[in-house]
Structure 1
Amino acid sequence: METRSDTTSGEFIVAGGGIGGIATALALARQGRKVRVLERAAELGEIGYGLQLGPNAYRMLEHMGVADQLKDRAFFPNNLVMIDAIDGRELTRMALGSDFQAKFGYPYSVIHRSDLHQMLLDAVRDMPGVSIETSKGVQGFTQNKDGVEVTCEDGSVYHGTALIGADGLKSRVRAALLDDGAPRVAGQVAYRGVVPMEEITDTTHADDVVLWVGPNLHMVQYRLRGGKVMNNVAVVENDDLRLGRTDTIGPDEMERIFAPCTENVRKNLGYVRKDRNWVLYDRDPKAGWSQGRATLLGDAAHPTLQYMAQGACMALEDAAVLANKITTVPSLDQALLDYEHARYLRTGRIQLTSRFFCGICHAVGGARDVRNSLVESRPKGSTFEIDWLYSGIEL
């Protein structure tokens, strides 16, 4: 059995080498802390496709010293556009140009998950005092007033001053701290795909993030990798998923639910992979992430649906706030509690608002009529729905 000790030098142990875990390592290293990242997979990497980075996330990346690297890897869309998938009419749009950037201080960008992860990884590998180990899934841990002892699946043991659980939706660190069971099945499944821009036949909204909304469905498109490829996401809602059945969910079911949509929306289904899908989960907000020398971060703390496009953004915020609390609060135990208090209500609001926005997107029957009327009546140029989200983030 392998045992390593680093209590005296205050090494922080991060469970999970995804976006949240690597961002945490970077934020702590920039504060002069020693960090050891333990990743379960044999190789570091991100599974998935595109993600959206609002001004709040861009600010966090600037705080971590890596925002400039976005310029060559991300795409900066002109507008956020919502379209009714059944009749094809545009319901509303939000311009993301100079006025938007002046108001919130930072741009809106979209990026491939693996590109963001690699960008953070490149930065953290240049920092002293950071160790990253793969094939080291965290099995469990114990703690006392001085630190933590972390046991991995292979039997190796690590000692550190604190444990940060960034180990995702089915976090083992969360299970030890909160013991609140499995994540909530949201009743939706996503199909995703990335294709070269030359394969896209309808380029009307090629420079936008476009959201088609329909009964029990939505589709999102936006460009990635400097605009060279198009990211496509199709999501359908099905009651069988809520009952724990997945055998009825497949490409045929997706095609059936999208059948009433306009021709161009149906054509877009050809851009998503049919051989793989993602069942969507989240959790109710729950306090208690920070206990003694252990805390949670990102999806381990507050998994959310994608309707606010804030999953990765919240992990980046978590990382920056946590590092600042550890640096400015003399007691480490209190710093972890202060970090949770700073994050709990904001992330909980995002979890619940994402569920609410899901209902708006997937509205059926008369609810769809009401949605369309209300959304079409939005004041032109208004950002009132997300002013709270992109402004006033306290580090």
Structure 2
Amino acid sequence: MTHGTDRVIITGGGIGGLGAALMLARRGIPVTVLERAAEFKEVGAGLQLAPNITRMLDGVGVLADLLPHAVRPRRLVFANAATGEELSHLDLEDAATRYGGPYVVLHRSDLLDALLRAARAEPMVTLLTDHHVERVADHGDSVTVTCADGQEITGRILVGADGLRSVVREHVVDDEPVCSGYIAYRGVVPIETVERLTDTDDVVVWMGPGCHFVQYPVRGGKLYNQVAVFRSQEYLDGKEDWGSPAELDATYAELAAPVVAGLSSIQRENRWPMYDREPITSWTNGNVTLLGDAAHAMLQYLAQGAGQSLLDGAALANALAPLAEGRDSERWCAGDVKAALHRYEADRVAAAATVQSTGRLWGDIWHVDEPVHVLLRDEAFRRRDTYDYHLVDWLYGPVLDPGDHADAVGHGPRPVDTYLTRK
């Protein structure tokens, strides 16, 4: 089967793949999305979208569909998981005004469903499930993927959005995911079943020795998302089945009462070993490029994984937009494709690498366990002014001009970094 050589093929129908498909189609570029599963579905729990992401989603008309399912928390709180002391917080309502977009928390499936609805409404998007890509062949003027059932699909550009263990990445670089030695238990439960709650207007990060615990509401406040992450001694000891529920309970047993109480309702059926990738200087080889976790899998300490994949899609759409001008084959010549993918990389590779490396650093800060290191970390957090944004301006910005007052849902003054112009 072929879908035309002036088409972008995206492998992976997750948040990054569907977001990219939507944004490419709105720039006049035909897209085929190949999802290996039988349906488009997210596995996981809650996620956070900071202003740098919600600004972009507002620009493509998706944010309004998300807000009824989301929660706009009042504060991002940092607390000591051992003592229960609140150390500092970020005023998220003020941050929304500062950066021109709200900070929202929601269920991963609610974001995927919103992107799926928008993509299905685009006539230039073809969505195919049960298509497991196994091989990639770049012919110079086109690229063909071969699926597990032998079916071949050809397009002009291939975008690997197929996650941490990407098949497409193997066409670009020979490397392996990096195991952090940490494991995550996560899930959502009806909010009334949590034994003890922190303020449900907040996102709370409890920082502990070799561990942390995150809590926040989703699904309009009906569900409570909790994530427990810890450094596994079982992993360090070489156990094959590491990060067990017994190790989870032992790690958190002596922590502050709100953490222990919250842990009692966390789901133990599934656990996620935490991996990332080393940053690379190029995501592209010929007509093949990468997006999302396939390009820059990152640890979750900046809460930017899903959001960065959406920024990739916006940048890719902007970079490829000139190929759609005129709708003739000359616009898809080798030189134009190469230049477009170079623009995409120039926009995103270094920026995503910074988020990857900074995320690792924040994890180190959260998880310190030596008494002196804990003392210094906590004192640094205590001394931070509530309205000191210098640690997040680089990530959430640009900052609105002084005197501007955005309403943080896209109808007020907009920052200069508009990612996508609607058709």
Q: Which category of TM-score, normalised to the shorter sequence, fits these structures?
A: over 0.9
1:153 aligns with 2:148: yes
Tell me the residue number matched to 2:2.
4
Tell me the residue number matched to 2:108.
113
Of 366, 369, 378, the match for 2:375: 369
Residue correspondence of structure 1 range 123-142 to structure 2 within 5 A: 123-142=118-137
Residue correspondence of structure 1 range 92-107 to structure 2 within 5 A: 92-97=88-93, 99-107=94-102
The normalised TM-score by structure 2 is: 0.89
Q: Which has the higher contact order (CA 8 A, sep 6+)?
A: 2
Change (3 A) 1:248 1:62: closer
Residue correspondence of structure 1 range 47-58 to structure 2 within 5 A: 47-58=43-54
Q: For 1:154 and 1:133, locate their aligned partners in 2 and report how far apart those are by CA, in whole Å.
A: 14
3-state SS, counterpart of residue 271 of structure 1: coil
Which digits, 9 at most, give the CA deviation of each residue in 1:281-308, with x for residues without a partner?
A: 0011112211221100000000000000
Q: For 2:276 and 2:301, locate their aligned partners in 1 and report how far apart those are by CA, in whole Å.
A: 12
Q: Which stretches in structure 1 are left out of the alignment for 5+ residues?
A: none
1:325–1:339: 8 Å Cα contact kept in structure 2? Answer: yes
Q: For 1:240 and 1:152, locate their aligned partners in 2 and report how far apart those are by CA, in whole Å.
A: 38
With 241-250 and 76-85 compared, the bigger mean Cα shift is at 241-250
The normalised TM-score by structure 1 is: 0.95
1:388 aligns with 2:394: yes
Matched positions, count = 389
2:177–2:277: 8 Å Cα contact kept in structure 1? Answer: yes
Of 326, 330, 334, the match for 2:339: 334
3-state SS, counterpart of residue 10 of structure 2: strand
Tell me the residue number matched to 1:358.
363
Q: Alpha carbon RMSD of aligned pairs, Å?
A: 1.4
1:210 aligns with 2:204: yes
Q: Which stretches in structure 2 are left out of the alignment for 5+ residues?
A: 324-330, 399-416
Tell me the residue number matched to 2:384.
378
Tell me the residue number matched to 1:260.
254
Deviation at 1:164, TM superposition (A): 0.5
Which digits, 9 at most, give the CA deviation of each residue in 1:217-253, with x for residues without a partner?
A: 1000000011111001001112443575342421111
Deviation at 1:5, TM superposition (A): 4.3
Of 266, 271, 283, the match for 1:272: 266
1:186–1:242: 8 Å Cα contact kept in structure 2? Answer: no
Tell me the residue number matched to 1:169.
164
Deviation at 1:208, TM superposition (A): 0.3
Q: For 1:354 and 1:321, locate their aligned partners in 2 and report how far apart those are by CA, in whole Å.
A: 21
Which digits, 9 at most, give the CA deviation of each residue in 1:126-179, with x for residues without a partner?
A: 111211111101111111332111111111001111100000000000012112
1:144 aligns with 2:139: yes
Amino acid at match of 2:129: T
Over the matched positions of the two proteins, sequence identity in percent amounts to 42
